[in-house]
Amino acid sequence: MQHELKIYNSLSRKKEVFKPINPGKVGMYVCGPTVYGEPHLGHARAAIAFDVIFRYLKFIGYKVRYVRNITDVGHLEDDTNGLGEDKISKKARLDQVEPMEVAQYYTNLYRQALASLNVLPPSIEPVASGHIPEQIESIQKIIDQGYAYESNGSIYFDVRKYNENYKYGELSGRTLEDMLEGSRELEGQEEKKFSADFALWKKAEVEHLMQWSSPWGMGFPGWHQECTAMSIKYLGLPFDIHGGGMDLKFPHHEAEISQCVGAHGCHPANYWIHNNMVTLDGQKMAKSKGNYISFQQMITGEHPLLEQAYTPMNIRFFMLQAHYGSTLDFSNTALKSADNAMKRLTNALKPLSLLKGNGSESQDKALEEKILYLRMQCYDKMNDDFNTAEVIANLFEMSSIINTLHNSATKASILSETTVQLLIETYKGFIQDVLGIAAENEGSTDDKLDDVMKLLLDLRNQAKKDKNYALSDTIRKELTAMGISIMDNKDGTTEYQVN
Amino acid sequence: MQHELKIYNSLSRKKEVFKPINPGKVGMYVCGPTVYGEPHLGHARAAIAFDVIFRYLKFIGYKVRYVRNITDVGHLEDDTNGLGEDKISKKARLDQVEPMEVAQYYTNLYRQALASLNVLPPSIEPVASGHIPEQIESIQKIIDQGYAYESNGSIYFDVRKYNENYKYGELSGRTLEDMLEGSRELEGQEEKKFSADFALWKKAEVEHLMQWSSPWGMGFPGWHQECTAMSIKYLGLPFDIHGGGMDLKFPHHEAEISQCVGAHGCHPANYWIHNNMVTLDGQKMAKSKGNYISFQQMITGEHPLLEQAYTPMNIRFFMLQAHYGSTLDFSNTALKSADNAMKRLTNALKPLSLLKGNGSESQDKALEEKILYLRMQCYDKMNDDFNTAEVIANLFEMSSIINTLHNSATKASILSETTVQLLIETYKGFIQDVLGIAAENEGSTDDKLDDVMKLLLDLRNQAKKDKNYALSDTIRKELTAMGISIMDNKDGTTEYQVN
C-alpha cells in the first residue's frame, strides 16, 4: 500500500494530503520568467522542480493541465512598490529595437535552455501582453468590490481596505507594520494612499513603448495582475496548485492572493509550492544581484567560477539531488560528483534491459522482497512532497542489484519474470519518466560508434588469441587516450564506456 | 559589380528592384500556420522559403525585423465566406481540452519541426489570440471609414462599398463578377449584404469556447484581421515585404489589403512574395485535402508513399533545389537524389578548410577568374528573386574546383591567399548562412567516432604494410557492411564517410 501524495503547502506551512478538485485531474500554474535577460541557474531550478512535479503527477495517472507564463510586459523595475520602469521596454530602448523583439529573443533562449534540460513544455504557455483584456476585466472586478482606487490614471490595490475584511500577508507571514517599516520614500509614492499599496494598472507616458487603452486611459498592467488573470482563465477558480520560486512569495504571490480574493472572494489555489534558490556562497544567484551564472556559461564553461563545462543533464541531476525546498549551493565539486552519480545510474540501464527472470517463482525471496521494498520506496519518497533526493538514493541501491544480477553467472534467473519486470519498469520509469534524465548523445552516430567499437574490440580479441599482445595493448592504450575505457567480462565479452 | 536585388512582386506581377523604406532595414511579415494540426510539407516549404529570404537579406547587410504569426483563433472553417466554426475550438471540443492547450501542442510541434529544419526563429512570433484589442481597434477604424457594417452582432467588410473607391481583387486578379459566380448559398449568408463580404468580427454563441468582449458584444475576430493588426503593430505602415503561401492570395491577402486600405487609405506592404505549393501528382498537398504527408511521417518514413525516412536537411535541400515560386512535386527519387547532391556539397567543406593559397598572386589566372565569376554568380542568382536553384548549380561548380585543388599535388598554392579566402567565404557562407544547410549529426559522439575510425584506419594501413591483406580486407568489408565507406587518397591518407 503506497502512501498518499503529500505536498508541503507554503500557505498552511505544513504537509497536507493532496486532494484534487476534480478527481483524476490537476490544474497547476507556475510563474515563468521575465524575458529581459539570459536564462540562468535560478530559472533552470524552478523549471526543473516543477517539471518533476508535472512528470510525477502524470506518472501516477493524473491528467495535468500545466500553465506556465511568460512575462513580457508589466514587470516593473522596482518590484516592491509598483514604481519604476518596465523592465522589457527599458532593455528595448537600450538595444533600439521593438520591445517584443527583445522579449522574443530571450523567450527563445529560455525555451532552448529548458528543452536541453529535458524540461517538458507546459500544456499552455501564455504571455502577459497577450492577455490585456483579461487583465483589465480582472482589475475592474477589484475596483467594483471596492479594493482598488484610481489615482492619476493608475489603479492601485488598496491594501488597508482589503485588510479590514481579509488578511493581507497570510502567505508571506508579513504584517502591515512590517511592510511599513521596510518601505522607502520614492518618486510617485504620493499617488498611493498607503506605501504598501501596489499597482494594478500604470498610466503610460506618451513615450512608453508598450501601452494599451483601458477604461482608465492609456497604460499597462502591473506585474502581479497577469498571473491572476491568466491562471483563472486557463484553470478556473479555484485551481489545485500554484507554484513559483521562493523569492516570489512576497510581493508577487501575496498580491495574487489578494487580487483574487478581492475580486472573487476566494483564494486562487489550494496548494502553494515554492522552490528554493540556487545560492553562491549562501547568496541567492540572480541577475539583479550580478552574481549569477547564465545557463549558456554553464554549458560552455566560460565563467571565472567554472572549472569546466557542464552538460544540461549534469545540471539537471545536480539539482534533483536536493529537495526542491532546500537551498542548493553551487560548487564545481558538487557538479562533478553529480555527473559521476548520474552515470552510475544511467550505466545500469543497459544491463537492466538484458535481465531475464524465470517463468515460475523467485528462488531468492530475500532479494525479491528487497526489490519490491525499493520499488515502493521510490513512490513513497515522491509521495512525501516530491523528495527526489531520497528517490535517487533508492535508485542507487537498485543499480547495485542490477549490476550484481548482470554480472552473476545465473543472471537474473533466480528471480521471477514478474519481479524482473517490476524492477525494469520502476528503474527506467523513475530515471527517465519521473526524474527526466535523458541519455545524452543519443542518435545514429552513437549506433555507428557502437558498430565500429564492436569491430575494434573483435580485432583486439583476435590479437589476444593470436598472442599478438603488442597489438591488443596498443588498441587499449589508444582507446584510453581518447577517453574510452574497456572492461573485459568473465564470460569473454568486452564492454566499453565513453567517459 | 553585383546586380541589385530584384523581387518578383505578386501585386505588380513583375520583378522589381528592391528599395527598402528605411535604408539598411527591412520589415517583413509572413503568414504562419493555423495550429490545429500537425506540421506538414506545405508548412515546411513556406517556412524554408522565407527563412532563406530572411537569411539572405541579413547576409547582404540588412537589419531585418521578421514577423511570423501563429493563428490560434479566428480561422473559420469555411475560409471563403467567413462562416462556419472556428478550427481551433472545433478540434478542442473533439479532444475535450481547453482550446489553448490544443493550440500550444501544435505550436510546439511546429516550432520543433522548424528548428530541426534549421529554420531561424522570426524576430517576433505574435499569436492572434494575444492581439484582440489591436484587432478590435483595427475593425473600428474600418467601420469609421464606412467600409464595414454590423449585422446581428457580427461585423462584415463591405466589399461593394470598398470597390466604389478602390479595387477589390487587385492582388488575385479577381473581379466582383468572378466572386459572385464562385459563391455558394450557405447558412448565415443572409447576415451579409453581398456574398463576397467577409467577416471582421463574428458574434459568439454562448457555447463558443474562445470569445472576447467587444463594442459589438461577445465574439471573436475573423481570420484575416489578425494579420492586418499584428503586421502594422510590429512593422509600422507601410512595411517592406509581405509573404505567404500562394494559396493565401485569395481570400486572405486580398482581405488584408482591403482591410488596410479601408482603414488607413494605403497598402500595407510594398512587395508581396508568394511561395508555391508542394504537390503530389500535381495536386496541392494540404491537410484539408487529405493527401498530405506530415513532417513527422517524412522523418520516420511511416507513410505508404514513402520508401524510406528522410532527414530534415534532406527535405530542406530538396526544397531549395527549386525556386520558391515554382511548384515542387514530391517524389522519393527526387528526395534521394537531393540527398546525394547535398552530400556532394557538404563533403567539400572539409577539404575547403584545408586549402591554403600563397602570399603573393595567383599563378593560374584563369582559375582565379573562374572562382571570382562563380562567387559573383552566387550573389547575382540570389539577387535575381532569390534563385536558390541556380545558386546550388554554382556551388556544384565550386565544389569540383575545391576537390581538384585538394587532390592536386600543388594544393591551392597556385592561387593567392585572397582568392582562396574569397572561395572559402563564399562557399561556406552560401551553404551554411544563406541556404542554411547545417551539418547533420554534429556533436561529441561524432568526434569520438572520428577518433575511433582513425585508430581503425591506422590498424588497416599497418596491416597492408605488413602484407596482412586478409585483415585489411576484413576491416574494409566490415565497415562497408555497417554503412561506412572508405576512400584511399593518392597521398596515402584514408578518408571515411558515414552513409
Is A123 within 8 Å of B104 when comparing Cβ atoms?
yes
Q: B422 and B364 in contact (C-beta within 8 Å)? A: no
Indicate whether B446 pLDDT > 70.
Answer: no
Region of B436 (left: φ > 0; alpha: ψ -120 to 50; beta: rest) is left
Task: Give the pLDDT score at A114.
Answer: 97
pLDDT mean across residues, chain B: 89
- Do B130 and A127 form a contact (C-beta atoms < 8 A)? yes
- Among B275-284, B287-296, B347-356, name the most confident range: B347-356
DSSP H or E segment with residue A67:
strand A63-68
The pLDDT of residue B499 is 67
pLDDT at B78: 43
Instruction: From B196, B262, B236, B273, select the one nearest B31 (Cα to Cα).
Output: B273
- A485: its cell numbers: 575505457
Q: Which residues of A touch B35 (CB under 8 A)?
A: none
pLDDT band at B1 (very low <50, low <70, confident <90, very high): very low
A164 and chain B in contact, CB less than 8 A: no
If DSSP states are collapsed to H, E and C, what string results for B441-490? CCCHHHHHHHHHHHHHHHHHHHHHHCCCHHHHHHHHHHHHHCCEEEEECC
By three-state DSSP, how is residue A434 classified?
helix
**pLDDT for res A359:** 81
Radius of gyration of chain A (CA): 27
Which stretches of B30-86 are DSSP H helices?
41-59
- The pLDDT profile of chain A, 499 residues, written as one tens digit per residue, is 467 999 999 999 999 999 999 999 999 999 999 998 899 999 999 999 999 999 999 999 999 999 999 999 855 444 444 445 677 777 765 566 788 999 999 999 999 999 999 999 999 999 999 999 999 999 999 999 999 999 999 999 999 999 999 999 999 999 888 777 655 555 567 899 999 999 999 999 887 888 999 999 999 999 899 999 999 999 999 999 999 999 999 999 999 999 999 999 999 999 999 999 998 877 877 667 777 899 999 999 999 889 999 999 999 999 999 999 999 998 999 999 999 999 999 999 989 998 989 888 888 999 999 999 999 999 999 999 999 999 999 999 999 999 999 988 777 789 999 999 999 999 999 999 999 999 764 444 566 787 888 888 888 888 888 888 888 888 888 888 887 888 787 777 787 877 6
Domain ranges of chain A: 7-275, 348-440, 444-498
Rounded CA separation B87/B72 (Å): 9
Q: What is the mean pLDDT of residues B253-275?
A: 97
Contact B475 A483 (CB under 8 A): no
Q: What does the DSSP 8-state code read for residue B86? A: E
Indicate the pLDDT class of residue B81, thresholds 50, 70 and 90.
very low
Most A CBs within 10 A among B299, B445, B472, hence the mutation to make, goes to B445
The answer to whether ipTM exceeds 0.95 is no
The reported pLDDT for the residue numbered B2 is: 60
d(CA A342, CA A318): 9
Task: Collect all residues of chain A within an 8 Å Cβ-Cβ radius of residue B484.
Answer: 448, 452
Q: How far is CA A311 from the centre of its chain?
A: 16
| Cβ of residue A130 closer than 8 Å to a chain B Cβ | yes
CA distance A324 to A273: 9
Nearest to A98 among B98, B124, B137 (CB): B124
Looking at residue B75, what is its pLDDT?
55
Question: What's the grid cell of residue A289?
Answer: 544581484
pLDDT at residue B185, as a whole number = 53
| Alpha-carbon dihedral sign for residues B415, B418, B422, B428 | positive
Q: Inform me whether the C-beta atom of residue A133 falls under 8 Å from chain B C-beta atoms.
A: yes
On chain A, the residues whose CB falls within 8 A of the CB of B98 are 65, 123-124, 234
Q: Are strands A239-245 and A269-275 parallel, antiparallel or unpaired?
A: parallel
Among A93-102, B182-191, B420-429, the range scoring the smallest mean pLDDT is B182-191
Contact by Cβ (8 Å): B388, B52: yes
Scanning A31-70 for CB atoms below 8 A from B yields 65
Which of A449, A475, A496 best tests the B interface by mutation, with the highest count of B CBs <10 A?
A449
In this prediction, residue B89 carries a pLDDT of 72
- For residue B422, the distance in angstroms to the closest alpha carbon of chain A comes to 31
**CATH number attached to the domain at A7-275:** 3.40.50.620
Q: Is A451:B478 a contact under the CB 8 Å cutoff?
A: no
Q: Is the bond into B238 cis (omega within 30 degrees of 0)?
A: yes
Inform me whether the C-beta atom of residue A27 falls under 8 Å from chain B C-beta atoms: no
The CATH architecture assigned to B6-275 reads 3-Layer(aba) Sandwich (3.40)
Q: Cis before residue A251, ω within 30 degrees of 0? A: yes
**Distance from the Cα of residue A323 to its chain's centroid:** 12
Q: What letter would DSSP give residue B82?
A: T
pLDDT > 50? residue B444: no
Which pLDDT does position A84 carry in this prediction?
56
Instruction: Chain A: give the shortest CA distance to residue B22, in Å.
Output: 14
Nearest by CB to B482, from A123, A125, A448: name it.
A448
Q: Does the CB of B308 have a partner CB in chain A at under 8 Å?
A: no
Hey, is the C-beta of B98 within 8 angstroms of any chain A C-beta? yes
C-alpha B42/C-alpha B48 separation (Å) is: 10
